[in-house]
């Protein structure tokens, strides 16, 4: 072999090696069932949107791979007094346009996130004072102690004051805005990725940020995000290699994707709990043939509905085994439910309860249900309709897209529902959020945000007292006991019917390595990818 040839071979090998394992040169294509509308990080409090924006924006804190709160833009913090939190900010951080990150931006973001139009009002208490101590120190002065203040902050992203003022983006973009604001089409975060182009509902291209303050764990050059609403199309795109990551994989297609040579499914329990709520606030149901009274106000009727639902059957048939029936309104990872078991499925007892309550012949009621939000949501509702039909409750099912559904049943729509299914992951990853937002009395004059997502209108003052104690209790054992008492009380009231935790199912190409979080937020800044 001549010198020339071996030299050529060495060069070739070197070139090949370069081509095979270049750092940060991969393009990851990601498809989700939902679209990314606004880039304004205060527009929509929805985990998928927050997950997308978490690539370009960062909070003072973030969540690590075990979902624990870790430092991000704040390097450290302390609570010199229970009502004063002091944050020491990271130095040398730059926004994507080059502006330095300082305490002014934190103060500005704290005001903006609490301003009208923001969907994240509860991130910073309305009466909290945010004080700049120096350029890299900020104090949060609260009116009452809140030991879990930072629990909600991993999705409270910090914005650049100078940039917002220069671009008429000081006010948050409301979700209902008809004309996009500058901040909803452009970003200026501090995160590991920048957005190169954004066509709402069509395609968003993320580019790796070479000036990021941290050490990247990914090896990506860019992320191309496209929404694919149709589940079968999404699966086909993954199988054909058109995209590298999809979320979610429909349960019926998990086996098919697992069997494919070039993709697999990451599954795991999700923290979201699905539950059924019954309007027990109104004196007469909005949608029912029972007039002059509300059957769901009778605790026996609520128990009957609970006992008529065969959750194991739903698990085996509708969810194909990929759900964890739940006795509690939170996942076991949030509050272990060893002391709680679901009341037994017992349609005969349910019938008797209905008869005792004076509805031996049943009644008619309308059920609201989303059909594009949770895993098999419409199918679960249909199954429940069938089960209730067996105890003579005739349910008219309204399965609708989430946009219509949320607009109708949530607070801004006036809680217009009689019977509904909803899923909830506490943003704090803590039970208190559920006790307060979903099960607390509505229209509490002292706390207008209490019961914000309590569409059923469950209200028990004793329960609220327990929830308030949970908020300020810092001793874990005592706190857990209080939470337990609260859940016991709500079960005695048959307040809600928890169904199950659904399973996460992310379809991932075998070229990609991902870390899956139980909060179902796809964090591609932890993704690594092999070359072609």
Partner 1 sequence: MSEAVVPHTTEKRPAASPGRFRRALDSDVFYSFRRSKITMIAAGVTLLFFLVAIFASVLSVQNPFDPAQLQLMNSRISPLWTADGQSPFLLGTDEQGRDVLSAILYGLRISLLVGVLGVVLSGAIGILLGLTAGYFGGAVDGLIMRIADVQLSFPAILIALLINGIAKSVFGNKLDEMSMLAVLVFAIGLSFWVQYARTVRGSVLVEKNKDYVAAAQLIGLPAPVIMLRHVLPNTTGPILVIATINLALAIITEATLSFLGSGMPETMPSLGTLIRIGNGYLFAGEWWIVAFPGIALAALILSINLLGDWLRDALNPKLR
Site membership for partner 1, residue 246 (CB under 8 A): no
Tell me which stretch binds partner 1 (CB under 8 A): 5-13, 51-59, 60-68, 247-255.
247-255
**Residue labelled with tokens 């294509």:** 29
- Structure token digits, residue 213: 């303050």
Q: Which long-range contacts (CB under 8 A, 24 or more apart) does 205-211 make?
A: 206/55, 206/56, 206/524, 208/24, 209/96, 211/94
How far CA 309 is from CA of 59, 276, 315, 399, 423, in Å, comes to: 41, 10, 11, 18, 17
Q: Which is nearer to partner 1, 109 or 398 (CB)?
A: 398
CB of 315 to partner 1, least distance (A): 11
Count of residues of this chain found to bind partner 1 when the rule CB under 8 A is applied: 36
Alpha carbons 13 and 21: distance in angstroms, whole number: 12
Task: Enumerate residues 6+ apart whose C-beta is below 8 A from 144.
Answer: 83, 472
Check binding of 235 to partner 1 (CB under 8 A): yes
| Whole-number CA gyration radius for the chain | 25
**Residue 409 beta carbon to partner 1: minimum distance, rounded to whole angstroms:** 10
Asked if 276 is part of the footprint of partner 1 (rule: CB under 8 A), the reply reads no
Nearer to partner 1 among residue 61 and residue 314 (C-beta): 314
- Options 81-89, 91-99, 196-204, 374-382: segment touching partner 1 (CB under 8 A): 374-382
229 binds partner 1 (CB under 8 A): no
Q: Which pairs from 97-100 meet CB under 8 Å and 24+ separation? A: 97/160, 97/163, 97/188, 99/160, 99/162, 99/163, 99/188
Which of 61, 383, 422, 508 binds partner 1 (CB under 8 A)? It is: 383
Chain positions 306 to 325 lying near partner 1, rule: CB under 8 A, are: 310, 313-314, 317-318
Cα(430)–Cα(218) distance, integer angstroms: 29
| Bridge partners, residue 368, by sequence | 398, 420
Bond before 155 cis per omega within 30 degrees: no
Q: Which stretch binds partner 1 (CB under 8 A): 5-13, 33-41, 379-387, 461-469?
A: 379-387
Q: Is the dihedral of CA 509, 515, 520, 522 positive or negative?
A: negative
Assess contact for 48 and 246: CB atoms under 8 A. no
The token duo for 153 is: 């902050």
CB of 399 to partner 1, least distance (A): 6
Q: Does 33 bind partner 1 (CB under 8 A)?
A: no
Identify which of residues 28 and 318 has a Cβ nearer to partner 1 in the complex.
Answer: 318
Pairing mode, if any, of strands 129-134 and 137-141?
A: antiparallel
For tokens 């914000």, name the residue: 452
For residues 338-367, which are near partner 1 according to CB under 8 A?
366
Residue 312 CB coordination number (10 Å): 12
Applying CB under 8 A, among 389, 412, 488, 530 the residue interacting with partner 1 is 389
Which of these ranges, 27-35, 67-75, 341-349, 390-398, lies near partner 1 under the rule CB under 8 A? 390-398
Q: Which residue in 84, 256, 402, 469 binds partner 1 (CB under 8 A)?
A: 256
Q: Which is nearer to partner 1, 133 or 407 (CB)?
A: 407
Tokens of residue 448, six digits: 């207008």
Q: Does 185 bind partner 1 (CB under 8 A)?
A: no
End-to-end CA distance of the chain: give it in Å, rounded.
31
By beta-carbon proximity to partner 1, the closer residue of 345 and 526 is 345
- Applying CB under 8 A, among 379, 422, 483, 508 the residue interacting with partner 1 is 379
Choose, by CB under 8 A, the member of 25, 45, 167, 252 that binds partner 1: 252
Site for partner 1, residues 395 to 424, rule: CB under 8 A? 395-400, 404, 408
Stretch that binds partner 1, among 7-15, 78-86, 170-178, 246-254 (CB under 8 A): 246-254
Return the residues of window 100-139 that contact partner 1 according to CB under 8 A. Answer: none
CA pair distance 391, 373, nearest whole angstrom: 28
In the DSSP assignment, the letter for residue 14 is H
Kindly state whether residue 231 participates in binding partner 1, applying the rule CB under 8 A.
yes
Q: Residue from 98, 336, 386, 531 that binds partner 1 (CB under 8 A)?
A: 386
DSSP three-state, residue 513: strand
Chain residues binding partner 1 by CB under 8 A are 231-232, 235-236, 239, 250, 252-253, 255-257, 310, 313-314, 317-318, 366, 368, 378-379, 382-383, 385-390, 395-400, 404, 408
């Amino acid at each position: 072999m001549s010198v020339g040839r071996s030299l050529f071979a060495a060069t070739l090998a070197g070139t090949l090696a370069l081509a095979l394992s270049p750092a940060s040169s991969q393009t990851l294509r990601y498809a989700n069932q939902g679209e990314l509308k606004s880039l304004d990080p205060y527009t929509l409090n929805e985990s998928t949107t927050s997950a997308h924006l978490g690539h370009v924006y960062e909070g003072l804190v973030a969540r690590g791979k075990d979902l624990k709160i870790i430092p991000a833009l704040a390097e450290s913090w302390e609570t010199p007094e229970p009502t004063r939190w002091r944050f020491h900010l990271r130095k040398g951080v730059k926004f994507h346009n080059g502006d330095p990150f300082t305490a002014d931006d934190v103060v500005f973001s704290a005001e903006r996130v609490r301003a009208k139009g923001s969907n994240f009002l509860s991130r910073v208490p309305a009466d909290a004072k945010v004080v700049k101590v120096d350029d890299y120190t900020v104090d949060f002065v609260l009116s009452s102690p809140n030991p879990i203040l930072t629990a909600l902050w991993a999705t409270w992203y910090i914005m650049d004051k100078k940039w917002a003022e220069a671009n008429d983006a000081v006010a948050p973009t409301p979700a209902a805005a008809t004309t996009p604001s500058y901040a909803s089409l452009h970003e200026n975060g501090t995160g590991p990725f920048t957005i190169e182009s954004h066509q709402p509902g069509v395609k968003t291209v993320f580019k790796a940020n070479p000036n990021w303050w941290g050490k990247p764990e990914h090896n990506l050059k860019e992320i191309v995000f496209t929404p694919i609403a149709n589940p079968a199309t999404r699966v086909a795109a993954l199988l054909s290699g058109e995209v590298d990551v999809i979320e979610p994989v429909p349960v019926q297609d998990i086996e098919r994707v697992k069997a494919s040579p070039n993709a697999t499914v990451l599954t795991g329990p999700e923290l979201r709990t699905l539950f059924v709520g019954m309007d027990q606030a109104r004196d007469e149901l909005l949608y029912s043939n029972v007039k002059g009274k509300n059957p769901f106000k009778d605790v026996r009727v609520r128990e009957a509905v609970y006992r008529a639902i065969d959750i194991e059957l739903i698990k085996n048939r509708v969810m194909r085994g990929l759900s964890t029936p739940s006795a509690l309104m939170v996942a076991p990872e949030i509050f272990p439910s060893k002391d709680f078991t679901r009341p037994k499925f017992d349609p005969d007892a349910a019938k008797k309860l209905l008869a005792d309550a004076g509805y031996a012949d049943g009644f008619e009621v309308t059920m609201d249900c989303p059909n594009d939000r949770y895993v098999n949501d419409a199918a679960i509702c249909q199954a429940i309709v069938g089960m209730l039909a067996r105890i003579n409750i005739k349910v008219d099912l309204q399965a609708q897209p989430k946009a219509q559904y949320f607009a109708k049943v949530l607070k801004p729509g006036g809680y217009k529902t009689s019977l509904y299914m909803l899923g909830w992951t506490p943003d704090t990853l803590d039970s208190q959020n559920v006790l307060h937002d979903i099960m607390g009395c509505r229209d509490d004059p002292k706390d207008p945000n209490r019961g914000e997502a309590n569409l059923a209108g469950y209200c028990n003052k004793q329960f609220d007292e327990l929830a308030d104690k949970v908020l300020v209790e810092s001793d874990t054992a005592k706190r857990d006991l209080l939470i337990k008492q609260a859940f016991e009380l709500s079960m005695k009231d048959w307040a809600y019917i928890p169904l199950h935790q659904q399973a996460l199912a992310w379809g991932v190409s075998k070229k990609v390595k991902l870390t899956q979080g139980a909060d179902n937020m796809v964090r591609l800044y932890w993704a690594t990818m092999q070359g072609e």
